A and B are shown apart, each in its own frame.
Chain A
Amino acid sequence: MRIEETAMKKALIAMSGGVDSSVAAYLTQEAGYACIGCTMKLYDNEDAGIAREKTCCSLDDIEDARAVANRLGMPYYVFNFTEEFREQIIGKFARSYLCGMTPNPCIDCNRCMKFEKLLDRAAVLGCDKIVTGHYAQVVETAQGYQLRKGADAGKDQSYVLYMLTQQQLAHILFPLGGMPKAEVRKIAEEHGFVNAHKRDSQDICFVPDGDYARVIEAQTGITPPEGDFVDTKGNVIGRHAGIIHYTVGQRRGLGLELGHAAYVCGIDAGQNRVVIGDSKDLFSDTVHVQDVNWIAGTPPQEALRCAAKIRYRHPEQPAELTFIGEREAVLHFDVPQRAVTAGQAAVFYDGDIVLGGGTIVTK
């Protein structure tokens, strides 16, 4: 049975209340789709351990999204995904930190919420496409769908989309992929969108004040114990405040006076130790990656040259990629890279094409 037979193709627009997804909604409508706007309510303020409004799921943002949907004359719904988000995203975020990793919850949210749960909703509603305001491009080729970088190099968000599958890509539209941000704001202004001048979101939405540790403690009820700072040889050189307060590459807030610049260069959750080194200890050329998604489908048998990013703002660097299992690979960078961090994503590129990516692990 098809629900609501209509001659027009239908699209479900994921609207955050920000300018990007609002313009994406407008462009999708212009492209001839019958559009339904929606916002995922992902957490309550209690989940973020804070009463603050300037976050992507707050009531203000929902009202902005609704205002734009009304202006465009499209039906609009709010989906309550707080339960799934708490378990799958905030919970995983907290568990990763407790294991000494530095996770990227936005990637997990794309994987589990936007392009899984919301995509299912789209299917149920008879929508052929799901639309987001990401700066990335989907290109259909004879060999299948490709994910490519957004045309605006400064805004490219393909890094957080490496997990997309062929099946998902077939049902995704990124209307902003070929557009510079300036043009997006211009379109928003021209159409009088309430959020035309709204600032871009920067933080992790459920940690609006940047205090990860408090959110982790509130979610898990665990306050990780203090422990030892050790140098790269294992000598104890001080006390740390609990491993969740640290990330690899961190320099500030260590409270160590060693007479030289000191950096976190490793977190050993098992022994509750934080390893401190100097700048050169942060560099390594080998990166182990798990849970790899290879967008084209079957991963290559042979080692292959690519460019890889090991965090969102990392300019991609030449490397050799070798699969050592179906979903496990090793990257060998031509030049050692600074602060390879477990829990972050490594994403592989061939020019503008995203080949795939996975989660960095310590070996």
Chain B
Amino acid sequence: MIYADHAATTAVSPAAIAAMIPYLDTVYGNPSSPHLFGQRAKAALDDARSRIAHCLHADAKEIYFTSGGSEADNQALRTAAMIGAANGKRHIVSAAFEHHAVLHTLDALAREGFTVTLLPVPEDGILPAADVAAALREDTALVSVMYANNEIGTVQPAAEIGAVCRKRGVLFHTDAVQAAGHLPLDVQADCIDLLAISAHKFHGPKGIGVLYARRGITPKPLIFGGGQERGRRAGTENVPAIMGMAAALEEATAHLPENTVRLTALRDRIIAGLRAIPQSCLNGDAVRRLPANIHFSFAGIEGESLLMLLDSRGICASAGSACASGSTEPSHVLTAIGRSRALANGSLRLSIGEECTEADADCIVQNVQEIVSYLREAAHWNEN
């Protein structure tokens, strides 16, 4: 099997598993317990918080653990909206190609009386900071632009957008779920006020993520109960998962330079191979994209058939985002960058991982080439 769907989720790394195990069966105390056994878990939790903060160039007090990226995005947007509303600012700027965790939260905020400007995205899949600057109003409370797109992998000019926002006194949130562990993140250099990451995208466990909220921004709780996370997120901390996440993020951060070089070379090898397919197009900028993301559209085929045939040959890929049923949904990202319906329907996302070899890359290319040409020629029984 070749797993080329790392943007969906990744394997938990051995280092992350090793970091988790003691907190499942040995140091299993509740960090809120007053006894020393519980306090050992609390100490581990604090340590993990500091290490994660370090990877993001943040302070430990700015790190809040959540159940994952979606919760962190929800909480970030609601926090910024509440702060804005308290100052009479009820306008939010975001982009049409955001993840649904952002778009659907913005829908909810719009129903609650906020005005949302969703900026169109150019064909290269990169939102210019100038477009963000031009959309700001006196009453703009928040800008939310993802660090890197989850479907087409394009990397956004976060530092420029952050600088624009900081200058204009507008909060900047970025969904960095696809970026963490894959791109260097520096919340200070990029002037990021709120940021969301999710452990399972960088070889950590599922069900755990981080909301970074810059000092001075108090997250608005979504979940009420105990006083965990300094009263901002109730519920007993998932200590094993947090330990796994910290280990995974440190590992990814440590190996980032060499992984980037290796994955970028493999990515470009696959892109070159798929570009040789007639009537194909790469979606998103060829250079300013995640090191492991390859996203193509092929005219005249159905993406669902391509995915299934790849699956039958042991290659796991994706067409973009999937709904809960597991069916392929029409991509709002491809629509946002102006791809026609027909091209959007024939799309393929490959997201490779560190274990990918040149032979794997060539195998992927060969199989996609074969299947695309088969699908274009396939005779259908209903056609006479």
Q: Which residue of A lies closest to B305 (CB)?
A: A124
Of the residues A59, A79, A123, A125, contact of B309 by C-beta under 8 Å? A125
Check: A119 CB closer than 8 A to any chain B CB: yes
Q: Are B327 and A80 in contact (CB under 8 A)?
A: yes
Q: Which residues on A sit within 8 Å (CB–CB) of B325?
A: 39, 41, 59, 62, 78
Measured in the bound complex, the distance between the Cα atoms of B307 and A75 in whole Å is 13
Among B122-130, B147-155, B255-263, B371-379, the stretch in contact with A: B371-379
Interface hits, B289-344 → A, CB 8 Å: 304-305, 308-309, 311-313, 323-330, 341
Q: Are B305 and A125 in contact (CB under 8 A)?
A: yes
Check: A7 CB closer than 8 A to any chain B CB: no
Check: B384 CB closer than 8 A to any chain A CB: yes
CB distance from B161 to the nearest CB of A (A): 33
Check: A182 CB closer than 8 A to any chain B CB: no
CB distance from B329 to the nearest CB of A (A): 7
Q: Are B327 and A124 in contact (CB under 8 A)?
A: no
Interface core residue of A3, A59, A79, A80 (most chain B CB under 10 Å): A80
Q: Are A167 and B384 in contact (CB under 8 A)?
A: yes
Check: B111 CB closer than 8 A to any chain A CB: no
Q: Which residues on A sit within 8 Å (CB–CB) of B305?
A: 121, 124-125
CB distance from B121 to the nearest CB of A (A): 22
Measured in the bound complex, the distance between the Cα atoms of B327 and A59 in whole Å is 11
Q: Are A83 and B330 in contact (CB under 8 A)?
A: yes
Check: B167 CB closer than 8 A to any chain A CB: no
Q: Which residue of A lies closest to B328 (CB)?
A: A80
Check: B370 CB closer than 8 A to any chain A CB: yes
Q: Are A3 and B381 in contact (CB under 8 A)?
A: no
Interface hits, B338-384 → A, CB 8 Å: 341, 370-371, 374-375, 378-382, 384
Measured in the bound complex, the distance between the Cα atoms of B377 and A1 in whole Å is 9
Q: Are B312 and A80 in contact (CB under 8 A)?
A: no
Q: Which residues on B sit within 8 Å (CB–CB) of A62?
A: 325-326
Instruction: Contacts A3-B312, A4-B313, A125-B308 given; indicate if A80 touches B329 (C-beta within 8 A).
Output: yes
Q: Which residues on B sit within 8 Å (CB–CB) of A171?
A: 381
Measured in the bound complex, the distance between the Cα atoms of B305 and A121 in whole Å is 7
Measured in the bound complex, the distance between the Cα atoms of B131 and A135 in whole Å is 59
Q: Are A59 and B328 in contact (CB under 8 A)?
A: no
Q: Which residue of B lies closest to A2 (CB)?
A: B374
Q: Which residues on B sit within 8 Å (CB–CB) of A41?
A: 323, 325, 327
Q: Which residues on B sit within 8 Å (CB–CB) of A145?
A: none
Check: A226 CB closer than 8 A to any chain B CB: no
Measured in the bound complex, the distance between the Cα atoms of B304 and A187 in whole Å is 32
Q: Which residues on B sit within 8 Å (CB–CB) of A119?
A: 380-382
Q: Are A168 and B382 in contact (CB under 8 A)?
A: yes
Q: Which residue of B lies closest to A171 (CB)?
A: B381
Q: Are A3 and B304 in contact (CB under 8 A)?
A: no
Q: Which residues on B sit within 8 Å (CB–CB) of A212?
A: none
Q: Which residue of A lies closest to B375 (CB)?
A: A124
Interface core residue of A66, A78, A83 (most chain B CB under 10 Å): A78
**B67-99, CB under 8 A of A: which get 1 and which 0?**
000000000000000000000000000000000
Q: Are B327 and A79 in contact (CB under 8 A)?
A: yes
CB distance from A111 to the nearest CB of B (A): 10
Instruction: Contacts A83-B330, A124-B305 given; indicate if A3 touches B374 (C-beta within 8 A).
Output: yes
Check: A312 CB closer than 8 A to any chain B CB: no
Measured in the bound complex, the distance between the Cα atoms of B379 and A167 in whole Å is 13
Q: Which residues on B sit within 8 Å (CB–CB) of A66?
A: 326
Measured in the bound complex, the distance between the Cα atoms of B380 and A120 in whole Å is 5
Q: Which residues on A sit within 8 Å (CB–CB) of B308?
A: 77, 125
Q: Are B381 and A120 in contact (CB under 8 A)?
A: yes
Measured in the bound complex, the distance between the Cα atoms of B341 and A168 in whole Å is 29
Q: Are B380 and A123 in contact (CB under 8 A)?
A: yes
Q: Are A120 and B382 in contact (CB under 8 A)?
A: yes
Check: A116 CB closer than 8 A to any chain B CB: yes
CB distance from A48 to the nearest CB of B (A): 15
Measured in the bound complex, the distance between the Cα atoms of B323 and A125 in whole Å is 22
Q: Are B382 and A77 in contact (CB under 8 A)?
A: no
Q: Which residue of A lies closest to B312 (CB)?
A: A4
Q: Which residue of A lies closest to B313 (CB)?
A: A4
Measured in the bound complex, the distance between the Cα atoms of B311 and A66 in whole Å is 17
Measured in the bound complex, the distance between the Cα atoms of B263 and A359 in whole Å is 59
**B160-183, CB under 8 A of A: which get 1 and which 0?**
000000000000000000000000
CB distance from A7 to the nearest CB of B (A): 15
CB distance from A204 to the nearest CB of B (A): 20
Q: Which residues on A sit within 8 Å (CB–CB) of B304?
A: 77, 79-80, 121
Q: Which residues on B sit within 8 Å (CB–CB) of A120?
A: 380-382
Measured in the bound complex, the distance between the Cα atoms of B382 and A170 in whole Å is 11
Q: Are A124 and B378 in contact (CB under 8 A)?
A: yes
Of the residues A1, A4, A79, A123, contact of B381 by C-beta under 8 Å? A123
CB distance from B222 to the nearest CB of A (A): 22
Of the residues A4, A77, A83, contact of B326 by C-beta under 8 Å? A77
Measured in the bound complex, the distance between the Cα atoms of B371 and A77 in whole Å is 18
Q: Which residues on B sit within 8 Å (CB–CB) of A123?
A: 378-381
Q: Are B380 and A3 in contact (CB under 8 A)?
A: no
Name 5 interchain pairs, CB-CB below 8 A, sorted by A.
Answer: A80-B329, A83-B341, A120-B382, A125-B305, A167-B381
Sort A-B residue pairs by CB-CB distance and give the 4 closest, nearest first. Answer: A78-B327, A80-B327, A120-B380, A41-B327
Q: A41-B327, A123-B379 are in contact. List 19 more A-B contacts (CB 8 A).
A: A3-B309, A3-B371, A75-B311, A77-B308, A77-B326, A78-B326, A80-B304, A80-B329, A83-B341, A115-B382, A116-B382, A119-B380, A119-B382, A121-B304, A124-B309, A124-B375, A125-B308, A167-B381, A171-B381
